[in-house]
Amino acid sequence: MGKKGLVFGLLAAGAGVAYAKYRSLDEDEQREVREVVLDKVDAAKDRAVDYAFYANDLLDDLKDAWNDHKLQDDTDFDGYENASEDDDIILSSDDLVQNETPEDSDYENSTVTFTPDSDK
């Protein structure tokens, strides 16, 4: 509570000194001070509006990027239900034939070749 009172007191004292100084000026100087203060207030309002638009645009861009990312992730994986036979090469054990001759019965000499079925 003490720090808040100190800050409020300093702000009130500063405003009182500024007002007293403003009242001690003649009319032309008061008009100049008023114009300068109003110009600075207008510039601050313009900046605030610009930053609000920037923040809104950034939020829209982030939403679009997130939706694009989600859409891309959803289209990358169709699932097994939607896959056709032409999508991937799926080997079955029927497609692999071991070519062994009766005299080559040991494992090191056996070969495995791929013979796809054309009627599938």
User: In which element (H, E) is residue 114 found?
Assistant: strand 111-114
Rounded CA separation 107/105 (Å): 7
Q: Compute φ and ψ for 96, nearest 5 degrees.
A: -100, 125
At 3 the pLDDT is: 86
| Contact assessment for residue 95 and residue 116, using Cβ atoms and an 8 Å cutoff | yes
pLDDT per residue as tens digits for the range 18-53? 999 999 999 999 999 999 999 999 999 999 999 999
Q: Which residue has the higher pLDDT, 119 or 25?
A: 25
At 107 the pLDDT is: 55
Where do the structural domains in the chain lie, given as residue ranges?
A: 2-114
pLDDT per residue as tens digits for the range 53-112? 999 999 999 999 998 888 876 665 555 555 555 555 655 665 555 555 555 555 555 566
Rounded CA separation 87/78 (Å): 11
